[in-house]
Amino acid sequence: MTTLINNIKQLIGTREETTLLRGNALANLPSIENAFILIEDGIIADYGAMYELELKVPQLPKDIIDAQGKFVLPCWCDSHTHLVFAASREEEFIDKIKGMSYADIAAKGGGILNSAKKLEAASEDELFLSAWKRLEEVSKLGTGAIEIKSGYGLSVQAELKMLRVIKKLKEKSNLCIKATFLGAHTFPLEYKENHQGYIDLIINEMLPVVANEKLADYIDVFCETGFFSPHEMEIICKAGMSYGLKPKLHINQLNSIGGIEAAIKLNAVSVDHLETMTDNDIKLLSGGTIPANLPGVIGTLLPTAAFFLRMNYQPARKLIDSNCAVALASDYNPGSSPSGNMNFVVALSCIQMKMLPEEAINAATLNGAYAMELQNEVGSITIGKKANLIFTKAIPSLPYLPYSFGNNLIDKVMIKGEFI
Ligand code: NIG
Ligand code: FE
C-alpha cells in the first residue's frame, strides 16, 4: 500500500542520516516547508518539497492525503515509563500536599512498596487491560515508541508477571516497545536488613528466567540513598549484562551518590532522572571521558517527575551547554508522574528548563529513539524508517506547540503508516 501526503505546511525532523545529538547539535531541527512524504507499507519511502514532487514521484499513488497546511513531525519516542501498574496512588498525592516528601512516604511503606502490594493482587489479564488502555491513550497523544519497565513486582512471580504483560503488549501493539527489567526498584520489606538476600534473588532466581523467556531488553536499578547503592547497582548490572541486558538506570533523582560515575563505567545506554546533578556529574556525562568509539551515555530528563514531586528541575541548559546528549521522557508511573503526555513533557522542558523548542523536540524524538536503541527505526523523517507521524492541527509555527501548553494540538497520529 502506497500513500502520499502532500501540502504539508512544514515537515519536521527530516534527516538523510542520523547521529545522537549532543550539545549545540540539539538546536538543529531540519525541516522542509510546503512538503510531501511518501509512505510504502508503513515505511517512509521518500519526502521532499512540493516543487520536487513531480520529479521524485512521477507516478502518483491512488491514496493521497492533503495535509492542508498542517505540521507533520515524527512521533514521540518515550524512552522511560512504568506504564504497567495495578492502581493509581492519589492518596499519596494528598499526603504530599499536606507536607510529606517522596522519601517520607517511601519510608512508611508507601510509594513503590504500595504499588507492589497492589500489583501482587492483580491478575496478568487485569494488568494487561489497564496497560493497554494507557498505551492507547499515549499513542493518541503522539507517542509511537515507548520503553516500559517492571519493578512493581519485587518477587520472582510478580516481576515475571509484569514482564510477561509487557511482552504481550509488544506482541499486540503497533507501537515499538522496549522492555526493561527493574527488579532492583526497591528492597521488599522482608529484605530491608538483608540487601544481599534480595540481590541474590534478582541474580539467581529472576534474571535466568527473564533471559530464558527473552522478557527484557535492558536492566535498570534505582540507584539512590535508601534504595540501591552504586556498588549494589554495579553487581546487579554486571549480572544482567552477562545475559546481554544493557543498563538503563535511575540515577541522581534525589541525591548524587556516585551513580553517574558507576553508570559510565558500566557503559549504560542512559542515565535517567538527573534532578540532582553536581558540576562533576555534568562534566562526567559531557562525554570528555567517553572513548571515541562509544556513543556515550545519554542523559534522560524526566521533568514531569520533578514537576509532580515539586523538586528542582533537571539542569537541562547546563547539560546541553556542556555538550551532553539529552533525551526527554515521561516517566509515566503512579507515584511520581501519573501522566504519559509527551506534549506536556516537551512544553515543560521549554517553560521550566529553558530548552529551545527545537532542542526539546529533538530530545523527545531522535535522542529518545537512541535511548531505546531504536534510532534505525524511528525518531526522524528518514527514508527506511517507520511512518510514525504526528499531524498537528492548524498552528502558526512550531514553537506554538510548547508555547500553547496544555492544549491538544494534535489532529491525527499515524503509526506504521496507519491512522489510529
Ligand atoms: O522513576 N524513582 C523511582 N521510580 C519511579 C517512581 C516509582 C514510584 O513512585 O512508584 C520514578 O520516579
Ligand atoms: Fe522511572
Confidence of residue 288 (pLDDT cuts 50, 70, 90): low
Residue 103 has pLDDT above 90, yes or no: no
- Cα dihedral angle (344, 348, 354, 359), rounded to 10 degrees? -20
Residue 317 is classified by DSSP as H
- Cα–Cα distance between 240 and 220 in angstroms, integer? 9
Stretch 121-141: mean pLDDT? 98
Q: What is the DSSP secondary structure assignment for residue 114, as one 8-state letter?
A: H
Give the pLDDT of residue 120: 97
Beta-bridge mates of residue 11: 32, 72
Q: Is the CB of 222 under 6 A from ligand 1?
A: yes
User: Where do the domains of the chain lie?
Assistant: 2-75+380-419, 76-370
Compute φ and ψ for 48, nearest 5 degrees.
170, -170
Percent of the chain having pLDDT more than 90? 95
- The alpha carbon dihedral of 139, 143, 144, 145 has a sign of negative
Model confidence pLDDT, tens digit, residues 17-43: 999 999 999 999 999 999 999 999 999
Cell of 278: 553536581
Whether residue 291 has pLDDT greater than 60: no
114 CB less than 6 Å from ligand 1?
A: no
Beta strands in 25-135, from DSSP E residues, in sequence order: 31-40, 43-49, 63-66, 71-74, 76-78
Which of 56-70, 90-104, 158-172, 371-385 shows the lowest per-residue confidence on average (mean pLDDT)? Answer: 90-104
Name which of 90-104, 118-132, 288-302, 368-382 the model is least confident about: 288-302
Q: Is the pTM of this model over 0.85?
A: yes
pLDDT tens-digit profile of 166-181? 999 999 999 999 999 9
71 strand-pairing partners = 10
Parallel, antiparallel or unpaired: strands 298-301 and 270-273: parallel
pLDDT of residue 383: 98
Atom from ligand 1 closest to the CA of residue 85? 10
Cα-to-centroid distance, 80 and ligand 2 (Å): 6
Q: What pLDDT score was predicted for residue 287?
A: 78
What is the number of the ligand closest to the CA of 252? Answer: 1
Give residue-wise pLDDT tens across range 259-281.
999 999 999 999 999 999 999 99
For the CA of 93, the nearest ligand:
1
- Determine the average pLDDT of the residues in 285-305: 81
| Residue whose cell numbers read 511482552 | 167
233: pLDDT strictly greater than 80? yes
Q: How far, in Å, is the centroid of ligand 2 from the Cα of 66?
A: 39
The CATH class, in words, for 76-370 is: alpha beta
- The CA distance from 199 to 187, in Å, is 9
The average pLDDT across 233-242 equals 98
Closest CA to 124 of 55, 230, 215, 236: 215
pLDDT of the residue at 292: 57
Give the mean pLDDT of the chain: 96
Which has the closest alpha carbon to 237: 166, 181, 293? 181
Work out the average pLDDT over 91-110.
89
CB 207 within 8 A of CB 240: yes
Q: Is the pLDDT of residue 210 over 80?
A: yes
The pLDDT-based confidence of 1 (bands split at 50, 70, 90) is very high
Percent helix, strand, coil in the chain (nearest 5)? 40, 25, 40
How close is the Cα of 392 to the center of ligand 1, in Å?
Answer: 31
Q: In angstroms, what is the span from residue 137 Cα to ligand 1's centroid?
A: 20
Residue 142 has pLDDT above 70, yes or no: yes
Per DSSP bridges, beta strands 31-40 and 2-12 are antiparallel
Q: How many helices (H) and strands (E) in the chain?
A: 17, 16
Fold of the 2-75+380-419 domain = Urease, subunit C; domain 1 (2.30.40)
